[in-house]
Chains A and B, each alone.
Chain A
Amino acid sequence: MITEPRIPDPDGFYAALLAAHEGRTDAQSADLNARLVLLLANQCADQDVLLACIRAAAEDTTTTTAP
């Protein structure tokens, strides 16, 4: 799993991600995120990296409490 920065335009990517979620309900946003995860997983195409990413995402506890 690569954790060094590789996204060429981080702010542009983040803005596009937010724009995609704009105007959606929580449920629609959850659907969008799920589709995005699957599309990205297929780009990665490396089972070990995918499992490492799942572990890394599952370890993060800061997102479990809603504001």
Chain B
Amino acid sequence: MENFAFAPAYELPVWPFTPPPELGSTKPVRHPIVIVGAGPSGLTLACDLAQRGVRAVLIDEDDTVGVRGASSRGICYAQKSLEIFERLGIYERIAAKGITWSFGRTFSGEQEVYNFNLQANSVSRQPPFINLQQFYVEWFLVERILELGLTDVRWKSRVTRVEQLADGVRLDIETPAGSYTIEADRLIDATGANSPIRTQLGIEAHASRSTDRWCISDVRFKKPLPTERWTWVDAPFNEGRGVWQHLMADGVWRIDYQMPEDCDTAYISQPEVAGARLREQLGPDVEFEFVWIGPYGYRDHLLDSFRHGRVFFIGDAAHVVSPFGARGGNSGIQDAANLGWKLALVAQGKAGDTLLDSYDAERQPAAQQNLQVTSRSARFLAPRSPAEHTLRRAVVALAARHPFARALVNTGRMSVANDYPAAPQLPEGARSVQNLPLRWADGRETTLMQLLSEGTHCIGLWFAPTREQARAALDATASLPLRLLAVGGDSGLPTLQADDRLASHLGIGDAGSFALVRPDAYRAAVLANATPEIIASALRTALGHDSNP
């Protein structure tokens, strides 16, 4: 029998536990913002707040990055997440370390039935996707947080109890140096799928588990392959079941095999068994070594509300979906970016508590949508009855010959920045604005993320306003967090060059038209004929001022 080698384990950074001042104190210290869990969503939130100049306490039970082995967990970072990382100052590191891709191919048997190029719809500085082991992203976030120096990061600290107070939350924390109690004005639970905080507060997660079983094999080998996402609906080298194949950093490939429903998960992930599967796929002459092997089954859950009093749930603590289309980690990162600027404005006294309700109003429907999309992919990939098999066979057969049927082949719909439904703070709903390259009137380059990277303000993009309107609008919004910019014209405002791509992406462009872009780069309002009063009113609505001034 062939012997299969394992690569040496990654050397991950370790950060020291520092006994906090509260240890030994009798009266609990009150902190405005406490985040529990230093995974992608908790770290993104802490970094987002620090970038805005807002302090927070970040608590994690570990003292390193990565969980359970060298390279499990998320690998695909979507454009919206990459744009957030650009704003937070770690995008360049991610791009340098990761694998940029936009092209995907789907096969059935030996035949390619479908491909897509996500770059076609992109106007962003960031690519549609970068693949990178999750622990690198966490590592870069931690280093950025430490560099910004505003976050009180407490490693080796486990929350053992939470209690909702009338005006905050009390937490008991266990550390290597003893236990202590702190209070928070607002607590953010980013502790992941098995959130002990959620369990302790008795919040129903509506969890379900799938019987579908998969085996991840992270592998390093020399055979050159294109940096594309390849998926098989029914791979001949996997007994007619599904297979996923993706390149990550350090020359490591993630190959994910669909297993029989009733399989023995310990057996299928033995090195000899996983190795034999790979040998079947790669042929006899390809050398490879394993980095990580592990079986998993899908699970999902979704909280009815992401806010419970003073406690906010983000990332996997709030929602878990099956991994098709990379909608798990990316939506957690986007939860954090949605909540960050709102917490910052509330902390700075520029918005009321109502604005924080909009976190749930926007991100819960996004998670609902992600759950629906991923459930449909899962069902395409694991038909439940002979009739479902028949229909899928028909789709795959037609897809090889007819373009229309390729749209029905569903091996995962890649993560998008979800649109937000109409709500009090978003009368028309909202959609993400990509990180457009822009130019100031004098020719200097900028981007939307650069315009949003300092402080916390909305951006008003006003096409060719008059000088009189511009002056009046500055007066009308003087007390509000708005950065007013002109696009073309001669208004005296800081002015960007008029640009067809910007106009068509925003869906406006006539003189006098206006788009209000939030700090999370969502377009909150579009005004065909802006006046200073209408702009101020749109801004107050977006900040939740109207209902709770």
Contact = CB atoms under 8 A, between A and B. Distances in A.
Contact of B394 (A27, A38, A42): A38
Given A35-B397, A38-B398, A39-B398, A30 B408 contact: no
A19 B68 CA distance: 59
A35 B395 CA distance: 7
A31 interface: yes
Interface in B336-390: 387, 390
A38 B408 contact: yes
Interface string A44-59: 0000000000000000
A34 B397 CA distance: 10
Considering residues B387, B394, B402, B408, which has the most beta carbons from chain A within 10 angstroms of its beta carbon? B394
B146 interface: no
Nearest to A34: B394
A44 B468 CA distance: 54
Contacts of B397: 31, 35
A30 B405 contact: no
Interface residues of B, number: 12
Interface string A5-28: 000000000000000000000010
A30 B408 CA distance: 19
B391 interface: yes
Nearest to A43: B404
Interface in B439-497: none
A34 B393 contact: yes
A37 B408 CA distance: 13
A35 B405 CA distance: 10
Which DSSP category, helix, strand, loop or mixed, fits chain A's interface?
Answer: helix
A38 B390 CA distance: 12
Interface residues of A, number: 9
Interface string B420-454: 00000000000000000000000000000000000
Nearest to A30: B390
Contacts of A31: 390, 393-394, 397
A19 B404 CA distance: 26
B2 to A, nearest CB: 38
Interface string B397-410: 11000101100100
B397 to A, nearest CB: 6
Contacts of A37: 394
Contacts of B402: 39
Nearest to B408: A38
A38 B405 contact: yes
A63 to B, nearest CB: 13
B391 A34 contact: yes
Contacts of A39: 398, 402
Contacts of B408: 38
A35 B402 CA distance: 11
Contacts of A38: 391, 394-395, 398, 405, 408
Interface in B61-91: none
Nearest to A27: B390
B393 to A, nearest CB: 6
A42 B404 contact: yes
Contacts of A30: 387, 390
Nearest to A36: B394
A53 B394 CA distance: 19
B385 to A, nearest CB: 12
Contacts of B390: 27, 30-31, 34
Contacts of A35: 394, 397-398
Nearest to B394: A34
A45 B393 CA distance: 21
A39 B405 CA distance: 8
A57 to B, nearest CB: 13
A42 B406 CA distance: 12
A47 to B, nearest CB: 13
A67 B391 CA distance: 24
Contacts of B391: 34, 38
25 contacts: A27-B390, A30-B387, A30-B390, A31-B390, A31-B393, A31-B394, A31-B397, A34-B390, A34-B391, A34-B393, A34-B394, A35-B394, A35-B397, A35-B398, A37-B394, A38-B391, A38-B394, A38-B395, A38-B398, A38-B405, A38-B408, A39-B398, A39-B402, A42-B404, A42-B405
Given A31-B393, A31-B397, A34-B394, 15 more contacts: A30-B390, A31-B390, A31-B394, A34-B391, A34-B393, A35-B394, A35-B397, A38-B391, A38-B398, A38-B405, A38-B408, A39-B398, A39-B402, A42-B404, A42-B405
